[in-house]
Structure 1
Amino acid sequence: MSQHSSRSARIDGAIDRALADNRLVGAVVLVARHGKITYRRAAGFLDREAGAPMRDDAIFRFASVSKPFVTAAAMRLVERGVIALDQPVVRWLPDFRPAVPNGAKPQITLHQLLTHTSGLSYGFLEPEGSAYHQLGISDGLDRPGRAMDDNLHRLAQAPLVFAPGTGWRYSLGIDVVGAVLEAATGDPLDAIVRNEITGPLRLADTGFAVTDLSRLAVPYADGAHGPVRIEGTITVPLPPQAGDGAIPFTPARIFDPASFPSGGAGMAGTAADLLTFLEVIRTGGAPVLKPETVAAMMRDQVGPQAETQGPGWGFGYGGAVLVDPAPSGTPQAAGTLQWGGAYGHNWFVDRVNGLSVVALTDTAFEGMCGQFVTDLRDAIYG
């Protein structure tokens, strides 16, 4: 058996085990090595109850897979001088002035928003009864019909977790970036992302709306007896490895045109579109970004002590950066860029090994941070 064949067999095994163990309902997995797709598979169900099989052009709600697209759009505007990374957010959003607990209102920069060092947080990371819950702040996955200004007003009232630049906390920062981009350009965020990134790359199925409902994957969530279909609004507890919180999901949010375009969680798209985008990043950014911009995106901006994906992981612009593989226990090379999405997704770019990997699933949170993610990674590296 060739190396390619043995790798494909290992990946098949990782997917088959997750399906057989009833940990995943369906998945689309793509692996590219040095620009050539070496593995492609759609497995399981697009809609389990209807018996509809998964298809490789399935459209998934992206959740945080939205972040690298919006980050790339922001970096393109930085290149053109429309915005600057060291600019205070109040230049564009004069009313967005959240305070630290002592009442002081420090400046927050675009860099801090993009790297999650602003002191903002996510409601799902905050304890019940916190300001985020009392204020009804949306994490971008719930509360259909919520307007951008309304959510920003609520967010600005919540105290910062720390003074900007003094820590790392995964946050609604990219949602605020989206509002900055709108204010700086006068265009809606969906148009900005389309004009700057998805349009030039011809990513026809990726955006803040669903292009073809017949291809939209039904979302499921981890349950005591296997994945349960997400209907209406349900709150799903994070697995222990991801934290103590719980994420509220309202899948219908993406159908409501009044819902603000969440830069951190509001997009949908296909595995093929995501792989195309990741390959652009891996190869230096052309035709949408300059090589020096991509180098900054893939360089750790916060320090590995942030442990953004565990020991050895820092954060760049758009994803976690592997600074030191030794304590992480991963076969990935230093410099790997990686992140995922709460609806059940995981992706990474390992430039040293020429790898771009996309795993979009319809199962939260197994497809984001469950055993499947580790099994798939290890199968790829062998």
Structure 2
Amino acid sequence: MESTTLQNAADTKEFSRRQLLVTASVGGLGVALAGPLSNALAAAPTWSRAKALDEVIFNAVNSGQIVGATVIAAKNGDIVYQRAAGFADRESRRPMNEDEVCRLASMTKPIVGVTALALIDRGQLGLEDPLTRWLPDFRPKLADGREPVITVRHLLTHTAGLSYGFLEAPDGAYHRLGVSDGLDASGLTLDENLRRIASAPLLFEPGTGWHYSVAIDVLGAVIARVTGLTLPEAVRTLVTDPLGLSSLTFVAEPNTVLATPYGDASPHPGRMTDPFSLPFGPSAIVYSPARAFDSSAFPSGGVGMVGTARDYLRFVEAIRTGGAGIIHPDTVAAITRNAIGDLPVAAAGPGFGWGLGVAVLKDPLAAKLPLRAGSWNWAGVYGTNFWVDPAEGLSVVALTNTAVAGMSGDFPTALRRAAYAD
């Protein structure tokens, strides 16, 4: 099924060029999740919003804003839309496909958060546990020298007072200490990175502010200590294996071909080198695309995973439908309910709060989005994003290989609006 624009294109050459960029579509065939874990195919009505989504994706790819994208949507448990467009590797002309493995970056965080919550549901970990119970040497201090109590809850809600290097000025403490944000080829062990994080002063008393941070990397270390497993083993045992999500891993298999990453540039995104630096906020994000294959790199709970859009959709659908047995339904409610009061969530924007691991929409008017209140979402700096609208029964995952245009800005905003087009 093509978009209205494509169907009515008068320019046959342009029409053919666009067809070459499109590699797959489900159109009128829905994929029944039958519970969020089934792969069975079943007939479903053509989704009325498919053409609007096609238009957004084709425009982003054909304009060169996005190199390649794969987008999948489920409505009330049925896959009603799936589209891959553009190039997984522009230079070799390898097209993006529906099962493309992409670097998830911060879309790793909800998976690791759910892993921690699974341990809480089993009574092995507590939300109010002080970190020193599990990481006795992790004792960051405030600027005045006081050592406050940081809890697991503070980590999940990004209210611990920690930060990210790319959110600091180039002379900030994380840069001076050589803290890894988890995207670079730092060569550090997780223990050494934790030591450096703990050496930086906290931005505020835990619980009194919100600041996006390496908190989920620290949480990954807690999970490893609680379980006696590595973080990848714990995630696999508690979440991805029970849900059958084989593509969601911390280290790509040697024979896996990942989508080639690109960084925003003019007139078109540039192919990432290794390392690759992209200006962002007050400084820059430093990427190492090869890190996805490096089994010696510490597993970053904040940004370290790879996977397909379909598997990620199955993950968020498991949460939307009550936890699929990996966490309790009341834990799902806690994840997706604002847990920080009126604290501003700068990284999500106006109208958003934060639950136990995801941004939660409180005020759609303030956010200027068509999503319903109670929707939850997050995104990643390799160019990925997702959202879940429980009131609509809608889950959408969009993985691109273009940083950061696939994460924030015109493309994800237009995609959200198209998914609610009448």
TM range (shorter): over 0.9
376, 383, 392: which one aligns with 1:337:
376
Q: Is the Cα–Cα contact under 8 Å of residues 211 and 345 in structure 2 kept in the other structure? A: no
Is 1:156 paired with 2:194? no
**Partner Cα distance (2:263, 2:415) in 1:** 19
79, 96, 115: which one aligns with 1:54:
96
2:245 aligns with 203
Q: Is the Cα–Cα contact under 8 Å of residues 343 and 362 in structure 1 kept in the other structure? A: yes
What are the superposed Cα offsets for residues 304-326 of structure 1, whole Å, 9 maximum, x if unpaired? 44134111100012210001112
Cα offset, 1:254, TM superposition: 2.1
**Partner Cα distance (1:323, 1:212) in 2:** 42
Report runs of 4+ in structure 1 exceeding 6 Å deviation: none
Give runs of aligned pairs for residues 1-382 of structure 1, distance below 5 A: 4=46, 6-211=48-253, 213-238=255-280, 243-308=281-346, 309-382=348-421
What are the superposed Cα offsets for residues 20-50 of structure 1, whole Å, 9 maximum, x if unpaired? 2111000000011101111101110111111
- Any gaps of 5 or more consecutive residues in structure 2? 5-27, 29-44
Q: Is the Cα–Cα contact under 8 Å of residues 210 and 343 in structure 2 kept in the other structure? A: no
Cα offset, 1:252, TM superposition: 1.0
Bigger relative CO (Cα 8 Å, ≥ 6 apart): 1
**What is the Cα-based RMSD across aligned positions, in Å?**
1.4
Greater shift after overlay, 142-151 or 113-122? 142-151
**Partner Cα distance (1:229, 1:380) in 2:** 30
Greater shift after overlay, 318-327 or 171-180? 318-327
What are the superposed Cα offsets for residues 61-115 of structure 1, whole Å, 9 maximum, x if unpaired? 1110100110000000000111100010011111101111011111100000110
TM-score by length of 1: 0.96
SS of equivalent residue, structure 1 residue 257: coil
**Partner Cα distance (1:375, 1:188) in 2:** 39
Q: Is the Cα–Cα contact under 8 Å of residues 26 and 363 in structure 1 kept in the other structure? A: yes
Q: Is the Cα–Cα contact under 8 Å of residues 304 and 323 in structure 1 kept in the other structure? A: no
**Partner Cα distance (1:310, 1:318) in 2:** 16
Q: Is the Cα–Cα contact under 8 Å of residues 345 and 367 in structure 1 kept in the other structure? A: yes
SS of equivalent residue, structure 1 residue 175: helix
Larger radius of gyration: 2
Cα offset, 1:6, TM superposition: 4.4
TM-score by length of 2: 0.87
Q: Is the Cα–Cα contact under 8 Å of residues 201 and 277 in structure 1 kept in the other structure? A: yes
Cα offset, 1:285, TM superposition: 0.6
Are residues 318 and 213 of structure 1, via their aligned partners in 2, closer, same or farther at CA, if it must alter by over 3 Å?
Answer: farther
Cα offset, 1:212, TM superposition: 6.1
Cα offset, 1:160, TM superposition: 0.5
**Partner Cα distance (1:197, 1:292) in 2:** 17
**Partner Cα distance (1:213, 1:338) in 2:** 31
SS of equivalent residue, structure 2 residue 399: strand
Cα offset, 1:123, TM superposition: 0.5
Cα offset, 1:143, TM superposition: 2.4
SS of equivalent residue, structure 1 residue 45: strand
Sequence identity percentage: 49
